[in-house]
Structure 1
């Protein structure tokens, strides 16, 4: 399959009438799949009402079919076409954070969306992205778009069109290049089907921000207990992984350096993921800074690009620092833990 690349300036007026957007939207109407930028990561969009289109998403990514997809909309009124109701707490969260990096789980209407998109669950995950290109594409297509991250399943999520091209060229119809994304981490997923909202996946909107709007917010126990099955889209399997084994270390930089020395003495080529504050300290084969420790939002923005950067190196092992699980740090550590898939080394 030939993959077309459309470059779009997100600052162009009336984007939904822009020729490249119209062309990409036409592909979506033909039940092809197209990658596009959001404020979080690049998404791989397809017609959420069509089984064939949704199947193409799963096939392109190599994603297991029991992993539900998030439905992207451009107008809040679209939600009423495929959900039974919008609870008051969900409505308040929409008012506060839409468009934005917040996905809400709601009870769906039967017979509207593809069952493949919702993994035959009674609920649906929906969000309105805060990116002019994404909104214009959804609006121009006239469709709700099922859209997971536009990467091969298990690999770091893409924050640039180049990342998408590396993974999916020849596997999808097209890529809308709208520049680098902003937040850098996927949306926060909140289940609004119960009495108290519950975070199923931490992301760009923090628990503290949510609680300012609706009061108490629970956290899915599966985020801490690997024995429990996660309920959120994109959380069931190992994800975000670099090619080399990746170990998180709960220790000082001196203790991490000792681990590096031991492995290099065994003839291994070792990488270290750190922050700008600590980069000069480490003596290793490859040292990459991921943002600033005192500004965790910069770590979030750089995380997936950093994980992908390690794949450009021929490494046997990677060690990574950990971060405090406060604010966006909760989402950062969630993604790093998923990327590692290995026990944290406690020093």
Structure 2
């Protein structure tokens, strides 16, 4: 079974959820074209999520995917936070920011009962999770709506675990993918492998469909994923320049520059490994220094730096999320890109 049958769509292409770079408009455009658009909920609360789902319902009646993070919210570590602020002190001073003014607390919340209530009202066709799955009671509430359940696996072990929990399909997130790694059974970066190494392992082992993600930017990549056993593909980076995306001007500029040729996994912007274009902060501090607070607590100080620098056209402190293959990024309608990607499935 490929994902067209599973999700009742006509093109085997999922637009990856990309918090901060899109809203319902991109998701609706992809769904209307026959793919599966995705709405990221990792930075929303119940009220803003309800508004997003009301808005997409006004644009399309076709299936879409709603994506949540399901991390554990950490306890504040005062010692580590002090070390983090000390590491950032030269930049805070440069931008005229008093460290005492930086807010505390989690900037992203995991899927919870309030979100489940919104989901139950709107009943999206597909619900996906990053960083594993929510607690069983919450997961059962999602399943009770009739939604198909997806989650990302970055290793064969994670894929087996997800299948045992009853997901309907597994996303094989290769090392090339932009944004946050979905890793959840281990924090070992060395366990992470490329899409076309991970995909055949998962497809050859699991009984559920496996969706390829990471480094797929054109029809040729889609065809390669199909040949290696994928039931469909998930594409993110290639959509970042589309007309309906909300990618910031600084991010768009970076994607179209030679800087986009160099991406790394960094914890600097959130506390979890995520792939982005190398900028000043990564170069000067290293991509994964030891002082970074646990996810998502690092985001508070970074947000303060961004709020000062970005209006001045400075991207030194901005998470410029991108995968290793930006060749498919085009300033075109999302529907056009979706159809072009799907031609690789037909070939």
TM-score by length of 1: 0.29
Q: Which has the higher helix share?
A: 2
Larger C-alpha radius of gyration, 1 or 2? 1
**What's the TM-score, normalizing by structure 2?**
0.29
Structure with higher strand content:
1
